[in-house]
Chains A and B, each alone.
Chain A
Amino acid sequence: KNEVEQSPQNLTAQEGEFITINCSYSVGISALHWLQQHPGGGIVSLFMLSSGKKKHGRLIATINIQEKHSSLHITASHPRDSAVYICAVPLTGSGGGADGLTFGKGTHLIIQP
């Protein structure tokens, strides 16, 4: 079973700051997922990536397959970015995720105006 570690667990920053959230996993994978969950809200998929870097607006996700590590960056952070960010990988490593995902415990991000 894959194990996922996220850091930091909690992060408070000022509006405009550059944010980095880290994720490490134990078993080689085909792809890694970054998810967002607003307080009391549902879960939204932000990225799924298997190599290199992806960018959506102010969000950037990178992955280093050899080091089993991924980072999620937020540029020019805004209070609406306040949410829990969750990293997830296939439960059984390179199984592709078809048999489910295993998740980090999440990073609680608060952006203060």
Chain B
Amino acid sequence: DAGITQSPRHKVTETGTPVTLRCHQTENHRYMYWYRQDPGHGLRLIHYSYGVKDTDKGEVSDGYSVSRSKTEDFLLTLESATSSQTSVYFCAISDYRGRDEQYFGPGTRLTVT
């Protein structure tokens, strides 16, 4: 299995509080992604990174920001959490030197009350 961890694995927070989710990889892969998974919508891309300090928006980026200061870490921040951000968040990595697979982390279940 690819070395990807996410922390925390579960979190309950109140509306309006900031939340940061961490994705850590030991594979030295260039590309990292944050997706959210919701019933009826499936998985959707929030943000992605194509290198240190290089990030871009995905399909559902409103209300989220990201940072990548090291190859191994990709942080997702909810500046002011809302109930609509209750979801399961998955990090993924890929090298894309050719047509490479994406490897997914275990997920973080976030509940905003």
A33 touches B45 (CB 8 A): no
Interface string of B9-46 (1 = CB under 8 A from A): 00000000000000000000001010000001111110
- With a cutoff of 8 Å between Cβ atoms, the chain B residues found around residue A50 in the complex are 99
| A35 partner residues in chain B, CB cutoff 8 A | 104
Please determine whether A91 and B45 come into contact, CB atoms closer than 8 angstroms: yes
Give the chain A neighbours of B74 by CB distance below 8 A: none
* Number of chain B interface residues as a range: 20 to 34
Q: Quick check: is A103 within 8 A (CB to CB) of the other chain?
A: yes
**Chain A CB within 8 A of B59 CB:** yes
- A86 contact from B33, B43, B44, B45, Cβ within 8 A: B43
- Complex-state Cα separation, A30 to B58, whole angstroms: 19
Task: Indicate whether A97 sits within 8 Å of B99 (C-beta atoms), given known contacts A43-B104, A105-B40.
Answer: yes
Cα A43 to Cα B2 with chains together (Å): 12
Interface residues of B in 71-113 (CB under 8 A from A): 90, 94, 96, 99-107
- In contact, B59 and A48 (Cβ under 8 angstroms): no
A112 close to B (CB within 8 Å): no
Point out the residues of chain B lying under 8 angstroms from A30, CB to CB: 99
A44 within 8 Å of B (CB atoms): yes
Residue of A1, A42, A45, A98 touching B31 (CB-CB under 8 A):
A98
Q: Are B101 and A33 in contact (CB-based, < 8 A)? A: yes
Q: State whether the Cβ of A28 lies closer than 8 Å to any Cβ in chain B.
A: no
Could you list 9 further interchain pairs (A-B, Cβ under 8 angstroms) beyond the known A88-B43, A97-B96? A43-B107, A86-B42, A91-B45, A98-B50, A99-B48, A101-B33, A102-B59, A103-B43, A105-B40
Residues of A within 8 A of B (CB): 1, 30-31, 33, 35, 42-45, 48, 50, 86, 88, 91, 96-106
Q: List 19 A-B contacts (CB under 8 A).
A: A31-B99, A33-B101, A42-B106, A43-B90, A43-B107, A45-B103, A45-B104, A48-B99, A88-B43, A91-B45, A91-B58, A97-B96, A97-B102, A98-B94, A100-B45, A100-B48, A100-B59, A102-B44, A105-B42
